[in-house]
Amino acid sequence: MIAFIIRRLLATIPVMLVVAIFVFLMLRLTPSDPAAIIAGDNATAEQVADIRNKLGLNEPIVTQFFIWGSKILRGDLGESFFFKKTVAELISDRIEPTLSLSLFTILLAVMVAVPLGVLAAKRHGSIVDRMVMGFSVMGFSVPVFVIGYSLIYVFASELRWFPTTGYRRIHDGAGPWAYYLVLPTLTLSVVYIALIARMTRTSMLEVLSEDYVRTARAKGQIERKVLFRHALRNAAVPIVTVIGLGIALLIGGVVVTESVYSIPGLGRLTVEAVLARDFPVIQAVILMFSFVYVLINLLVDLVYSLLDPRIRY
Amino acid sequence: MAAPVLEVTNLTVAIAGGGDRANAIENVSLTVMPGEIVCVVGESGSGKSVTSQAVMALLPKGQLRISGGSIKLEGDELTTKSQPAMRAVRGKRAAMVFQEPMTALNPVERCGDQIAEVLEIHTDLDAKARRARVLDVMRSVHLPDPEQMAEAYPHQLSGGQRQRVMIAMALVLDPALLIADEPTTALDVTTQAQILKLIREMQVRRNTGVLFITHDFGVVSEIADRVVVMQRGRIVEQGTKAEILAAPREAYTQMLIAAVPSLVPPVRVPITSQVTLETIKLNKTYGGRSFFKPSGRVVKAATDVSFQIRRGETLGIVGESGSGKSTVARCIARLVDPTSGRIDLDDVDIARMSERKLRPYRRRVQIVFQDPYRSLNPRRSVGQSIIEGPMNFGLPHGEAIERARNLMGLVGLSPDALDRFPHQFSGGQRQRIAIARALAMEPVLLIGDEPVSALDVSVQAQVLQLLDSVRKKFDLAVLFITHDLRVAAQICDRIAVMQRGVVVETGPTANVFANPQHDYTRALFSAAPGQGFGHRIGAGKIDLVPAV
Amino acid sequence: MTSMWGSIRGGALAAGTVAAMAAGVTSAQAQKTLRVVMHSDLKIVDPIWTTAYIVRNHGYMVYDTLFAQDANGEIKPQMADTYTVSDDKLTHTITLRDGLLWHDGAPVTAEDCAASIKRWAARDSVGQKLMSFVETISASDAKTIVIKLKSPTGLVLIGLGKPSSNVPFMMPKRVAETDPNTQISDFTGSGPFVFNKDLWKPGDKTVYIKFDKYKPRSEPASGLAGGKVVKVDRVEWRAISDQQQIANALLSGEIDFVEQPKHDLIPLYKKDPNIVVKDYNPLGNQYVFRMNWTQKPFDNPKVRQAIFYAFNQKDFLEGVIGNPEFYKECKAMFICGTSLATEKGMEDKFTSNFAKARELLKEGGYDGTPIVLMQSTDLDVLTNLAPVGKSLLEKAGFKVDMQSMDWQTLVGRRVKKDAPSAGGWNAAFTSWVAADVTNPISAAFVNASCEKAAWGWPCDEALEKLRDEFARATEPAKQKEIAEAVQVRVSEVGTHVYLGQWYQPQVHRNTVTNFITAPAPVFWNVELK
Amino acid sequence: MSVEPNIAASSSPLTAVPAARRQQSSMARAFRNPSVLIGGLVIVIMVALGAAAPWLGTINPTEPHTSGRNKLPGSEVTVRDDDGKPVKIAYRLGSDNLGRDVYSRVLYGARISIFVGITVAIISVIAGMIIGLFSGYIRWLDPIVMRIMDGLMAIPAILLAIALVSLFRAGIGAVILAITIPEIPRVVRLVRSVVLSVREEPYVEAAITTGTPMLKLLWRHVLPNTIAPMIVQGTFICASAILVEAILSFLGIGIPPETPTWGNVMAAGKDVFYLFPHNIFYPGVMLALTVLAVNMLGDGLRDTLDPKLAKRV
């Protein structure tokens, strides 16, 4: 197992290398010039050139890449072009809200979606199934921000049950922290409930036609246990896959949700960094998200082996 | 006379929404007495499995439903029982063993727990008592080291062991009726023999009534007390084993029995023509490390395989699953690249040739695959499939069509059928088309990779005869891969027996069958069910019938 | 867990929960915190290095100035105790007040201030002009700053009392000696608030703590001048970018004050009796259309002049601001309501006289090549200018290629002198705080010094000569006369086209009182109930 | 495992129906599926609305009317045309903050949104298909291509899109490119998995032994198997592209705001949502309906064309 983890971690190297090269080239080959932006409104051409020099943007691209790469390898993410802070500081400031929101969302989504999916599969073709599937397609189809605004309109603005915007850090108290996350979590989880419920249903339907489910019935097992003891565990691998995928996809929704609710998380940091052409921040954030994606994949693989004894590493 | 365990009367199962026919089975009546094994035998689509599922009330919901008749288990009517009431019957009074032990066992649960589950459902035993009963029943089905086996997951067991677990699970509560649905079909012949013996033993010891579903007359002759023959959802004929096998009354039964090849090979003249194919120390290993896949385990699929095939000769490679026989065939067809060794085709070594250089030689080796449903591109007409090869080698379209028409006639199909698509043909017809496609290339070597294994026994005989006749007509060298000793006995001039990638014995078919040298060969032959049963192919009872 | 849910449910029942909860948090700390949403997030913290208004506002929190403009537009001493000018008008002497301290406890010295003036002058346009008159700036003792001039100028006070970007903020010498082209990394000031670097979370909030040892002047606060008495413990700038969300937060009491509410939302605010809508910056702002002199077709004065005829101010003001309460058409370049305001040279312009514009285009030889008009899409008060402009330009016979981009891209692109097809540009809109453009020196767009001029690079010797004269003029009447000449010259050569004044009201909850009317939002004197 | 013999012996009468028969009539059956019918119908209506926009009583959707800003639905204003003559404008669905007619913008918006969706779907499917076919078939190419695809997949799609759009000049081309690039690796993986399974099919091996050259082989025997999953995948990509386009516009980094797209109409209206909800409501409904329809179409097609696809998200 340990050997597997080490091997998998090693296997992330080429993936991360591709990510690094791609992101680096993408930033360097675009027409935008951070130096001009940094130099400000009334800067002269010499000032811009000077800043370019200081940022190392005049070096050949390959040199720039290696300088950056070797710093990354030493754990140095560099310093933001704009904020007078290191990238590591910026990220660590922003990580808590994003993590909280993502965690809440995944928890809620799994807790709601898996039972829904099982129910739909059990009542395949019934009105319940149709409703779950209908909700699921709707969940995919309504943009996150429309859901967000609707929720704010109803629950924050009209009913005044929840705050409209903002975020409270957990060390200011778990109560406010959770309270402020209710609406964003609901907003973001709709699409994941849709995704996971749908996958649960599909996977369950497939498993329910398997021979061992027939065997279980042939033993005289009651239907509930057939569903949960035999079917769900076997159906779990694709469900876990989609949850893992969901976590990876979450960041897209997080960007929008954080904008709608003014949550100072990584999603907004990225958008701001992109708008400001803050190369070190963009590179670091994208690299970090990619690494998280790879790690989640690894984690998902490990969970597979817990769920399915046939999978051994 | 004791009361029957199972009494099925005029059972009819309707297919929802119709289909080819309104009912999956119609007016089926049969009985199983205590301590009796009743074999239900029939080809695919005969309704034999539906009968067994109906008894257990396990018919697929919404697709099939009982529309008439009665099923009585120990005098207790089942068709009117609710599902909860049926749950009390299933597993306790009637149990079932399925065909595929890998998929019939829950892959994520330990074997012991799966057996114990039956006890959990139907008894009040505590965990300890359950455990004792589980080990007990596991011991009784001769599972080695039951303590360890109980902790194992299904995938850690061999196919035979898994089927023993299934049987243990079925028998743990001593049901009155055991339904075995093709329980040995997925197993190798040596394992099959052991399982059949086990079922016999358990059944005798516990006086269980067994309803045994099978398509294999060898198995029937081995195990049955009475035989029920089914065709297209109806019972054709039933009687004692002796009556049915020795003196079938109905033409269909007669045909079925006649189509079973004999295990006794006919006498064949040794062939001494020139050597078409010679393999020398052919090796194929799979896996191994690479940069992207650092964990590869090395599997030796074929080791030092050497043999010759002469013009007009059929060499059979027999062996159980995993013996490497298909790997050898695929190496020779260059569908996989051999790891080392020579493949001399008319004295040219094609083993390591690049794809470009190989191209002219491709046409000389053609292959017919096992699965008739997958060996033709479903989106292309039969004609397009046949002419593709010749046209690849420059034959003009018109001539290629002409050749295809001739070949269609030769394989017993109407030349006008060239425009049709594969789905419009039956399995046997598709194998004929596949043979025509191979012949269109004018090969010198024809490889048959289990070409009749997926076919019903009646069709199988026809295809075998066709293969034999084209061998003669075109003076082909034929490499015939099979796991079926009966088929091998009838069609091969010489056979090579493979075990775990190694050829353990080669020789003229008659010699090998009569006087096997290697231990494995002997074990293999003695395991074949129904030793004395069967007929010679081409013994005159069946003719090639143009089927279109 | 139980208590958490309990509190949420309980809160859900009571109206105005959020305010209650927030109040709970603050009262626990027994502090008065003013929660503010500024027009943007604070990312850069060097007010000398950038002209960004948010950084200027940050500067007013953290730093102090030698002089400051009061409510009547007059320059008053702030850190300065006394200010004397020698009879030959060449030696200016400033002494510092007693008891001024840096946030780290060290006393403010004249050396600190001299270094700060030099750094500011290296970046600021007025400062640069001023430095062309200056011989030396030095500290004669710990409290006395001496500025020696080569020739007399009125720019010393105009510069040191400059109310808006760049404001000559005073910094400790060690900070002020930072290269003007590099951002500072030490944020010690002597202003009424201390910048808490640890609590600064770009994208979330910026926190200022009251500086207990600040010595305010004794006179009452007036404009940016007077006593900077801090009456709250803490000011938090919250970063919320979405105007709808800002509105929600203010209405529900999560925040107290909004610097730049969207004009379209003012009716929403006005409906709520707890909200005060008021403009604390009476001069307002001025919209500007800037042409690129270095590229066809705006290298031709006729074509530039055509714009004055094609445009009318109302369409722009109405298109962006909408509510006439918050805009004013004004043909005076140096802002209506100031001493230099005049309509001279502009009488027949801003009338959307398309026929006249077409005629001028023809004379100017415009060949129909589309002009690249840059539109910034992420600044509310600018976004709508370009579509309106495009519509008017097309009616005047221009072909327009409107290219949309975010503000940062626009800022990056507008300094490029390349051909429009190669990543350059022809025209763009922007807005100035009126206080920045009230005279020909500080109005950066009147600078016509070719290469050295601001983006657009107008090049006109006559104009430069006028500006020079203005810098030397010390009499108001003379200054007015020169300013009129400048405006007439601009109407002829077309350095830029100004599009009227608009006002940015602030909104706050009625618990906030005594907010100061000034060209920049400042948070001393504010009381929080 | 020992499954060699008796493939056909898995003996329910229903499974005996040859797989190929289903394939032949699948297109015809697809059009009888209610999801396909309803989804298709809505899409046809949307396309028709977009195409017929000029004849449906619309006015120039980009022309500002500064005196008609932020009008509620049903308002009428009088503006002056180029020659100074008064003209009446009826804002059926209200106007935005530049006095542009929301009704016209929403109808014209259908054009852009659907165009973006379909274009992204076609480009990513075709590009993914070509890469996937060769990657799946040519063994030495596969690991290289897949590492690159893994790297691309690891970058969160929406961040990649945000970065690409804002770094290049904003425009419809950049948006399409930015949405397409993250979709390609997903298509490649799908195609590749189909290729890997199809290349094991005996009829493909038969074609190899009859000497069929690679390109012909891919074209004749492999490619057709990817068509059904690609049509299904294409519809899902189309739906997600329409959503992502709206999200990008919403974040203010999409197609230039002047261009009438549903996302742009919503972005223009999001700040005044409370006072003038029509800005979000009408385009939001149109967007959700369209995406819903495309998703329903995809679901229906998948159920009829490629039931196995449900497993892969």
The rounded distance, in Å, linking the Cα atoms of B368 and B375 is 8
Residues of A in contact with B155 (CB under 8 A): 309-310
Rg for chain D (alpha carbons), in Å? 24
Report the chain A residue with the minimal C-alpha distance to residue C417.
A45
Instruction: Looking at the complex, report in whole angstroms how far the Cα of residue C514 sits from the nearest Cα belonging to chain A.
Output: 27
* pLDDT, tens digit, 9 for 90 and up, residues B371-410: 888 888 888 889 999 999 899 888 899 999 999 999 998 8
Instruction: Identify the weakest region by mean pLDDT among A177-191, B290-304, C458-472, D272-286.
Output: B290-304
* pLDDT, tens digit, 9 for 90 and up, residues C374-400: 988 777 788 889 999 999 999 899 999
DSSP summary character for residue B534: -
Instruction: Confirm if D159 and A289 have CB atoms less than 8 A apart.
Output: yes
Has residue B152 got a pLDDT over 60? yes
Strands B314-318 and B477-482 turn out to be: parallel
- Using the beta-carbon criterion (under 8 Å), do D82 and C395 form an inter-chain contact? yes
Has residue C433 got a pLDDT over 90? no
What would the mean pLDDT of B310-338 be, rounded to a whole number? Answer: 89
Instruction: Confirm if C285 and C317 have CB atoms less than 8 A apart.
Output: no
Rg for chain B (alpha carbons), in Å? 25
Query: Domains in chain D: how many in total?
Result: 1
Sequence-ordered alpha helix ranges (H) in C100-185? 110-123, 125-131, 155-160, 173-176
Band (C8; pLDDT cuts 50, 70, 90): very low
Query: What is the average pLDDT value for chain C, to the nearest integer?
Result: 86
The rounded distance, in Å, linking the Cα atoms of B141 and B164 is 6
What would the mean pLDDT of B252-264 be, rounded to a whole number? Answer: 85
Has residue C342 got a pLDDT over 70? yes
CATH number at residue A153: 1.10.3720.10
Report whether CATH 3.40.190.10 matches the domain C34-244+510-528: yes
Is there a single domain that holds both residue A201 and residue A135?
yes
Residues of A in contact with D264 (CB under 8 A): none
pLDDT of residue D306: 65
Instruction: Confirm if D106 and D281 have CB atoms less than 8 A apart.
Output: no
Band (C509; pLDDT cuts 50, 70, 90): very high
**Within a domain: D100:** no
Q: What's the whole-model pTM score?
A: 0.81
What would the mean pLDDT of D59-67 be, rounded to a whole number? Answer: 84
Of B424, B442, B460, the domain-final residue: B442
Residues C396, C400, C405, C408, CA torsion sign: negative
pLDDT of residue D170: 66
Q: Amino acid letter at B460?
A: Q
Report the chain A residue with the minimal C-alpha distance to residue B294.
A7
Strands B477-482 and B445-449 turn out to be: parallel
Instruction: Looking at the complex, report in whole angstroms how far the Cα of residue C418 sits from the nearest Cα belonging to chain D.
Output: 16
pLDDT of residue D8: 32
Strand stretches in B263-313, DSSP E: 275-286, 299-310
Is there a single domain that holds both residue B460 and residue B429?
no
Strands B340-345 and B314-318 turn out to be: unpaired
| Strand, coil or helix: C241 | coil
Report the chain D residue with the minimal C-alpha distance to residue A237.
D311
**Within a domain: D4:** no
**Within a domain: A88:** no
pLDDT digit string (tens) for chain A, length 313 residues: 777 788 878 878 888 888 888 888 887 777 667 777 666 655 666 777 777 787 777 778 888 888 888 888 887 888 887 776 788 888 888 889 999 999 999 999 999 999 999 988 888 878 888 888 888 888 888 888 888 888 888 887 778 788 877 788 888 788 888 888 889 999 999 988 998 898 888 888 888 888 888 888 888 888 888 888 888 888 888 888 888 888 777 877 888 888 888 788 888 888 878 777 788 888 888 888 888 888 888 888 888 888 887 776 6
Is there a single domain that holds both residue B305 and residue B402?
no
pLDDT of residue B295: 52
* pLDDT, tens digit, 9 for 90 and up, residues B445-486: 999 998 888 888 878 888 888 888 888 888 999 999 998 888
- Using the beta-carbon criterion (under 8 Å), do A218 and B91 form an inter-chain contact? yes
Is there a single domain that holds both residue B336 and residue B421?
no
Query: Domains in chain B: how many in total?
Result: 3
* pLDDT, tens digit, 9 for 90 and up, residues C231-289: 999 999 998 877 877 888 898 888 999 998 988 888 889 989 999 998 888 788 999 99
Instruction: Confirm if C158 and C121 have CB atoms less than 8 A apart.
Output: no
Band (D232; pLDDT cuts 50, 70, 90): confident
- Using the beta-carbon criterion (under 8 Å), do A84 and C185 form an inter-chain contact? yes
**Within a domain: A167:** yes
* pLDDT, tens digit, 9 for 90 and up, residues C16-69: 333 444 444 444 445 789 999 998 888 778 899 887 888 999 999 999 999 998
**Within a domain: A79:** no
User: CA triplet D215, D221, D225: central angle to 5 degrees?
Assistant: 120
- Using the beta-carbon criterion (under 8 Å), do A211 and B292 form an inter-chain contact? no
- Is ipTM > 0.90 here? no
The rounded distance, in Å, linking the Cα atoms of A203 and A213 is 13
Instruction: Confirm if B382 and B418 have CB atoms less than 8 A apart.
Output: yes
CATH code assigned to C285-502: 3.10.105.10
Provide the domain limits for residue D199.
30-62+106-310
* B441–chain D Cβ distance below 8 A for any pair: yes
* D15–chain C Cβ distance below 8 A for any pair: no
pLDDT of residue C30: 58
Instruction: Confirm if B317 and B329 have CB atoms less than 8 A apart.
Output: yes
* Partner-chain residue, chosen from A215, A220, A308, that has the shortest CB–CB distance to B108: A308
CATH number at residue D189: 1.10.3720.10
What would the mean pLDDT of B83-104 be, rounded to a whole number? Answer: 84
The rounded distance, in Å, linking the Cα atoms of D272 and D202 is 63
- Using the beta-carbon criterion (under 8 Å), do A233 and B108 form an inter-chain contact? yes
- Using the beta-carbon criterion (under 8 Å), do D284 and A143 form an inter-chain contact? yes
* A282–chain D Cβ distance below 8 A for any pair: yes
Report the chain A residue with the minimal C-alpha distance to residue D281.
A146
> Judged by CB atoms within 8 Å, which residues 399-428 of C form the interface with D?
402-406, 409
Higher pLDDT, C67 or B324: C67
Band (C7; pLDDT cuts 50, 70, 90): very low
* D173–chain C Cβ distance below 8 A for any pair: no
> In angstroms, what CA-CA distances link C496 with A286, C291, C333?
41, 6, 10
Is there a single domain that holds both residue B348 and residue B489?
yes
Order of strands, edge to edge, in the sheet holding B477-482? B365-368, B445-449, B477-482, B314-318, B494-499, B502-508
Count of CB atoms situated within 10 Å of the CB of C83? 18
Residue % of chain D over a pLDDT of 90: 16
Is there a single domain that holds both residue A26 and residue A111?
no
Is there a single domain that holds both residue B164 and residue B282?
no
pLDDT of residue C9: 36
- Using the beta-carbon criterion (under 8 Å), do D8 and B44 form an inter-chain contact? yes
The rounded distance, in Å, linking the Cα atoms of D236 and D186 is 12
Instruction: State the helix-helix crossing angle for D34-51 and D102-137, rounded to 10 degrees.
Output: 120
Instruction: Confirm if A307 and A251 have CB atoms less than 8 A apart.
Output: no
Of A40, A73, A106, the domain-final residue: A73
pLDDT of residue A141: 86
Query: Domains in chain A: how many in total?
Result: 2
Is there a single domain that holds both residue A100 and residue A151?
yes
Report the chain B residue with the minimal C-alpha distance to residue D213.
B392
For D62, list phi and psi in degrees, rounded to 5.
-110, -5
Has residue C322 got a pLDDT over 90? no
Is there a single domain that holds both residue A147 and residue A10?
no
Has residue C358 got a pLDDT over 70? yes
The rounded distance, in Å, linking the Cα atoms of C24 and C8 is 13
Is there a single domain that holds both residue A196 and residue A240?
yes
Instruction: State the helix-helix crossing angle for A174-208 and A87-122, rounded to 10 degrees.
Output: 40
pLDDT of residue D1: 31
**Within a domain: A52:** yes
Provide the domain limits for residue A113.
94-307
Order of strands, edge to edge, in the sheet holding C400-405? C327-328, C496-502, C285-291, C427-433, C371-376, C400-405
Residues C170, C174, C179, C184, CA torsion sign: negative
Has residue D9 got a pLDDT over 70? no
Instruction: Confirm if B236 and B253 have CB atoms less than 8 A apart.
Output: yes
- Using the beta-carbon criterion (under 8 Å), do B106 and A214 form an inter-chain contact? no
- Using the beta-carbon criterion (under 8 Å), do D66 and C388 form an inter-chain contact? yes
Is there a single domain that holds both residue B457 and residue B351?
yes
The rounded distance, in Å, linking the Cα atoms of C405 and C372 is 12
Of B442, B468, B487, the domain-final residue: B442
Has residue C298 got a pLDDT over 60? yes
Provide the domain limits for residue B143.
110-174
Has residue D167 got a pLDDT over 60? yes
- Assigned token pair, A284: 């670091």
Is there a single domain that holds both residue A156 and residue A19?
no
CATH number at residue B271: 3.40.50.300
The rounded distance, in Å, linking the Cα atoms of C137 and C152 is 15
**Within a domain: B537:** no
The rounded distance, in Å, linking the Cα atoms of B201 and B188 is 20
| Strand, coil or helix: B281 | strand
The rounded distance, in Å, linking the Cα atoms of A182 and A101 is 9
Of B401, B418, B442, the domain-final residue: B442
B to C contact (≥3 Cβ pairs closer than 8 Å): no
Has residue B61 got a pLDDT over 80? no
**Within a domain: B473:** yes
Q: Where in chain C is the domain with CATH 3.10.105.10?
A: 285-502
Q: Where in chain C is the domain with CATH 3.40.190.10?
A: 34-244+510-528
